[in-house]
Structure 1
Amino acid sequence: MSLGAGVDIFSMAGKTVAITGASSGFGSHFAGALAAAGARVVLGARRIDKIAARVEEINAGGGEALGLELDVRDRDSAARFLEEAEAAFGPLDVLVNNAGVESGASTYVSMDEDDWDYVLDTNLKAAWRLCKMYTERVGGRETKGNIVNIASITAYRTIKGQFPYAVSKAGLIKATEIMALEGARYGVRCNAIAPGYILTDVSRVLLESERSESIVKGIPMRRFGEFEDLEGALLLLCSDASAYMSGSTIVVDGGHICAEL
């Protein structure tokens, strides 16, 4: 791909992005960052009130956003989300699979089958189903598609008590690689971002606890990440700057994954 001088290859102008799990945390921030880069954004989640507030913020700031109810574990809800998003803004250029849940302090021995099903169905099965539905829609059109999955460094390194969550994120990274291989024939590329410890409303319980100091010592950059630290990887993978990338996982963790054992 060759672009002229002065062309911003990270620009999202003219592109439409659908983001799952967008009522708070990563998804809510991603929607704002992508809208600021010029994208039309469709926010999906179960908490309609929070989505509506975020959509209002983005639109008031000059962006273009739409909020839709979405339960990723429900097949009909997922199909309706994609249909309504495209009815409003046209073909989706990018699907960001961000929706996910954590399992609390669950070891493989202490957890029960309901816990396993809840985490794996939300973090892995639902992501696969949305990717499948999206790819089927892209396969019937001329423009290409792009999937960005939000994984985690727990796929590579973990601590006790993260069993189903870590397994689901490891599965999502492998799914990303296979979908890159199999999706190319449909004009779809697929990549992932694996964040490290990022300060969110959920993670603060751990990251501001008495364990905080020991966790930070394991991160070479000696700090936890902020939402803004993910924006570079997000814009790279969502934009044409990554046009020849597929099957890649970008780790954003301050070097945590390569810290000494």
Structure 2
Amino acid sequence: MRWQIGRRSTNVEDRRGMKISAPVVGGGVGAALISLLVLLLGGDPSALWQQDSPPSDSPIAESPQTTGSQTQDQMADFVSVVLADTEDTWSELFRQDGESYVEPKLVLYSGAVESACGFARSAVGPFYCPRDQKVYIDLSFYRDLKTQYQAPGDFAQAYVIAHEIGHHVQNLLGISQQVQTLQSQVSQTQANQLSVRLELQADCFAGVWANHAQRSRQILETGDIEEALNAASSIGDDRLQKQARGYAVPESFTHGSSAQRVRWFKQGIQTGDPQKCNTFAKTNS
């Protein structure tokens, strides 16, 4: 991916190395609500409960990676360029529709972070918080993307950011709120299906960004699209569940299967048209 010559965004908030205190979370309704929130944001809520929470006055340990290292600095620079590119793309697309695009902030953190949506550990993965319109990412996730999910490459990393920005676009368009309202009115299985459609649309929006970025700024190099498709496939619900438990439970999917995620990213990158990303249409079931 040709990213080095791109402009840098001024909307990056660097909180790496900051120590924060983990809240004491009780069981019952409180725990269930936080699990649901993380689920809707795109993370894995089980990651929160699989770890013992430290006392509320205990600082969270910093990421094992050195925040000031050359690798981390380069990664932060990369993230800033990709964010700027999404800003340029979506600002133009919103302008064409007579709307103004509100640029989100992107927060870099290490270990754990406090957002307007609550406390989260890096184990939940990158996520978007609609309450403060910020994307949160621990750069160590990219190491996991390469080693744990077998999805290396800078364009795979860019896809992750573009997907979270897709959630921001959904928030600005009112889609996220509509989905959450519907989810409160249906069964858990149906709510999961709505979550899948929301996530697949974010994948499609990521593809829309890639289409316009390539047409406007020729960012793609040989193998880049394959990197993104591999990343989309690697984090499909069916693949992750089979790796974790040996089998998949489709009713519990919240992000979509590998095939679905690949399909919708392709839809976005091939058409470049957000209108073609209607994952909620019955014909797209």
TM-score normalised to structure 2 length: 0.25
TM-score normalised to structure 1 length: 0.27
